[in-house]
Amino acid sequence: MDTITQIRLLETMLRVRKAELQLAIMYKNGKVPCAAHLYEGQEAIAAGICDHLRHDDCITSTHRGHGHCIAKGMPIKKMIAEVSAKKTGCCGGKGGTMHLFMPEVGVMGTVGIVGGGIPIATGIGLAMKMQNTDRVAVSFFGDGAANNGSFHESLNLAALWKLPVIYICENNLYATSVAVWRSTPIPDIGIRGSAYGMPGVTVDGNHVDEVYAAMETAVARGRAGEGPTLIECKTYRIRGHFEGDDAFYRTKEEVAEARKRDPIDYWKAHLIANGAITEETFEAMSAKADEEVAEAAAFADASPYPEPESALLLSGNPA
Amino acid sequence: MAQVVVMPRMGQTMEEGTIVEWKKNEGDTVTQGEVLLTIQSDKSELEVESDVSGVLVKILATPDSGEIPCLDPIAVIGDPGEEVDVDQVVSDFLAKRG
């Protein structure tokens, strides 16, 4: 991986992290009128996967999808404005966090229904194949979704028809309040790829270099028409399932232990060690991301809500 | 610049909360992300972290205050060494909130 890519990955992770922490503050202060499921601690996955995607590739995402949208190219201000239910958001303020769409950058929806984005990405992959393109579709989902019927049906069809779809299972160890070991009898969800006749790999989702390398192979395979890949990225959901979740089902010690494996700390240390950046460069990158996020929050704050008379219009932003 | 801390809205059905315990005292230095206090929402007891770093200048509400509407001021945090006119900061906040 070249130095520019290494730095770009760090930049993406920082932008995602800062945006999520900003939303946490906005939520507490009554500026987010819907639930907020934040992505802190999982940034390496969105960054490492989406870095391989072109503008015309597509993703589907989940209730925990802000990071995927940012990494795929949605401007942070369009995301924060949407989550704040403002007219200037990517869906005119009517979608909110669990319906973030921006087809022009390939964000084909964050889907609130668990496992709901998997068949959508599979259908997009089918369309891409039928149109004889070398585009790929990516579906992000969690460990809980990997036990849904939509997962099985989609992976089976995608392998049968050699669709250019990459399935990214972000195993953050919790499906809402259910620990993965309570619901899933195998240690690695990645091995399920073999059940469908597709490559299935498991990587450390907190190590962006591992995620990036696995995706490199999967994207090449997809673009070459060789079919889908399942990538399981092991990570940890640092925050509660939603903001305001008291997380009674796990200990504070467990969370503190997981924080020691922070993906940004890991990558920062790696880049400083190999000379790609210095502590000063990191601080400058961090400040730049802070500035972008503060501007996005101010933009959302200053934006109006959609007018009541636009209620029946699709986006609230008539052309 | 001094900032108001509000009773957070930690759920779509939460209209008010009660203060369980302040973990910081007036005059204490606080850092962003540090636990300021615990509250009881309509559903559970939650820790409230500080949004900013600074000094906890004034505590406006305590466990004895009973149920406090969400987004009402409960404290003021200022910069280290800052002279803070608490009444002014709170009234500016309330005027801006509308």
| Range of the structural domain that residue A64 is part of | 3-297
**Is residue A304 in a domain?**
no
Q: Which of B39, B43, B46 to mutate to test the interface with A (most CBs of A within 10 A)?
A: B46
Question: Predicted confidence band at B1 (pLDDT cuts at 50, 70, 90)?
Answer: confident
> How many domains does chain A divide into?
1
A200 contact partners, CB below 8 Å, separation of at least 6: A190, A191, A192, A193, A194, A229, A230, A231, A232
**Is residue A165 in a domain?**
yes
Per-residue pLDDT tens for A178-211?
999 999 999 999 999 999 999 999 999 999 999 9
Q: Which of A29, A33, A246 sits opposite B44 (nearest CB)?
A: A246
> How many domains does chain B divide into?
1
**Is residue A303 in a domain?**
no
Q: What are phi and psi of B67, to 5 degrees?
A: -75, 130
Per-residue pLDDT tens for B44-68?
999 999 999 999 999 999 999 999 9
**What mean pLDDT value characterizes chain A?**
96
A4 contact partners, CB below 8 Å, separation of at least 6: none
**Is residue A314 in a domain?**
no
Contact A93, A42 (CB under 8 A): no
In degrees, rounded to 5, the angle at the alpha carbon of residue A211 between the alpha carbons of residues A61 and A269 is 120
- Does ipTM top 0.85? yes
CATH of the domain at A262: 3.40.50.970
Residue pairs between chains A and B whose CB atoms are closer than 8 Å: 33
CATH of the domain at B32: 2.40.50.100
Strands (E), chain B: 3-6, 16-22, 29-30, 35-40, 45-49, 54-59, 68-69, 73-78
B46 contacts A246? CB cut-off 8 A: yes
**Is residue A14 in a domain?**
yes
**Is residue A319 in a domain?**
no
**Is residue A156 in a domain?**
yes
- Pairing relation of β-strands B73-78 and B3-6? antiparallel
List chain A residues with CB under 8 Å of B71: 29-30
| Range of the structural domain that residue B90 is part of | 3-97
**Is residue A28 in a domain?**
yes
